[in-house]
Structure 1
Amino acid sequence: MESITCKRTKAVQSHRIMPNETNFYKNMYGGQLLYILDNIASVSASRMTEYGTMTGNMDSVNFLKPLPEGDVVHVETYVTGSGKRSMEVFAKVIGESRRGERYLAATGFMTFVVLKDYAKEGYVLPSVVPESEEEKFLCAGYLERKQQHQANRQLTQEMIQHLTVELLD
């Protein structure tokens, strides 16, 4: 079976936080950060396979510290686990103040899936090989997170059965 290192899937982007991206408290909107996370994570997913991928789920995002206007936000993503056609992408968000002090601002896990219409029949994603201590720690928890994701997905399917699409009056 083919394998690929986490490092090979790594994508990093730095971004200055501008006034139009902030809320009333002059901190970056959570939704703005999610947009950036999804965009950069898609680069990591594309480094895992030549076939088209799509965000299947934002499994968890933990906002740890606000990202103030004028600070720089660095987002680093890489693949931490893979199945047949799905992969988990980890995101680490580091803020950097104007004085150069860095802080962990958020973390997240997203699931990306290989689109069936674009892949060869029987295609299976390569396995992931961690090298750094951080990568080893995160990859070790992949199967447990995947099981939890599958359980949450079942609960969501049950909930959907009780939802309507009627708009409120």
Structure 2
Amino acid sequence: MFVPLPSEKKCSESHTVQTHRIFPNDLNSFGALYGGKLMSLIDDTASIAVSRHCRRPCMTASTDTLDFLHPIYENDSVTVQAYVSGAGRKSMEVFIKVIGEVLKTGERYLAATSFMTFVVVDSEDNFVGVPAVIPESVEEKLIHEGYQKRRDNRLKELASNKKLGEHISLTLPYMDN
């Protein structure tokens, strides 16, 4: 079913928040949240943000950056916040911030930041592109301001990786050929 999209949307319209408690089975051998578990929470939250922004089927194209800034420990909470920070014709950049909270004291800390790219996989003939992004808050404006430079860098990196891929062996290590 065709759902007409506005030509632009506010970052706040895609804003998505998930909060979870960290349990013992979420921990690595250092007593902190597994990085892979956090990556899964980030991807899940970001996917909802892009769906809110464009209301079309989308998939993760890349995790552009993920910086772990502070470990998240058992019984702390982790809040993953995401919003669309920039958009091309079929792609969207999502900014994600991860906030840890020591539930005993209420102390909060920035645990991680990430940028991801998602692409629309809609095959409808009437698809005209995703809405442009309108930042409003100081944070949104700051993040959005760097979008084009990050996008240009991503496209260069993608081209480089495709070229590298032409020389990557697909032979399994235990096979003769």
Q: TM-score, normalised by structure 2?
A: 0.91
**Matched residue, 2:82:** 77
Tell me, in whole angstroms, the C-alpha distance in 1 between the residues paired with 2:64 and 2:36: 15
Query: Do structure 1's residue 110 and structure 2's residue 116 form an aligned pair?
Result: yes
Please give the root-mean-square deviation of Cα atoms over the aligned residues, in Å: 1.1
Give the match for residue 100 of structure 1: 106
Counterpart among 28, 37, 44 of residue 39 in structure 1 = 44
Aligned to 1:51: 56
Identical residues among aligned pairs (%): 41
Say whether residues 1:123 and 2:128 are aligned partners: yes
Q: Partner amino acid for 1:59? A: D
Question: Contact conserved, 2:10 with 2:134, CA < 8 A, in 1?
Answer: yes
Question: In structure 2, what residue type is equivalent to 1:146?
Answer: R
State how far apart, in whole Å, the 2-side matches of 1:126 and 1:46 are. Answer: 12
Structure 1: any 5+ residue segments left out of the alignment? none
Cα distance in 1 for residues equivalent to 2:115 and 2:149: 13
Q: Is residue 2:159 matched to residue 1:154?
A: yes
Q: Which secondary structure state, in structure 1, belongs to the residue aligned with residue 96 of structure 2?
A: strand
SS of aligned partner of 1:88: strand
- Runs (4 or more) in structure 1 with deviation over 2 Å come to 119-122
Q: Which residue pairs with 1:13 in the alignment?
A: 18
How big is the shift at 1:157?
0.7
TM-score (norm 1): 0.96
**Structure 2 CA distance for partners of 1:51 and 1:122, relative to 1, 3 Å:** closer
Displacement after TM superposition at 1:12 (Å): 0.3
CA distance in 2, matches of 1:32, 1:63: 13
Q: CA deviation at 1:6?
A: 0.3
Paired with 1:75 and 1:131, the residues of 2 have a C-alpha distance of: 20
Higher radius of gyration, 1 or 2:
2
State the number of aligned residues: 168
- 1:164 aligns to 2:164 (yes or no): no
Per-residue CA deviations over 1:99-142 (Å, capped at 9, x if unaligned) read 1100000000000111042x334521111000000000000000
Give ranges in structure 2 of 5+ residues lacking alignment. 1-5
